[in-house]
Structure 1
């Protein structure tokens, strides 16, 4: 699984990497129900949903991403 990382450089040229987490809301177009979750790799996770690899939404396809928010840490995304 890949992770989104941002590289920052300080005045001392020390590299600081930040990993983001994403909280998201999906909408099932089949039953108009919402599903929420969080992940460190939004693109990968959405692909899992669309490929019917997630049990909780497998029979609720098609689904669409209606909202996501980038968070600086996992605790903020949960």
Structure 2
């Protein structure tokens, strides 16, 4: 096995979560219908990131969103 993978560990953690079943549920309940930038997949990644880093408030999460690495990991980059 190759020790250099293209996926980050953050993406590898989410690969079991984002299956076709979840995508079907998002479409059937129209969870991304009114969103412009923060889709459900990015929201879940941001939520887990905040939980793992024990972020204390939404303001602290908002401040960390200026990080380029976090934007790339959560697919918030345009």
Report the TM-score range of the alignment, normalised by the length of the smaller protein.
under 0.3
Higher helix share: 2
For CA contacts below 8 A with separation 6 or more, give which structure has more relative contact order. 1
Tell me the TM-score normalised to structure 1 length: 0.24
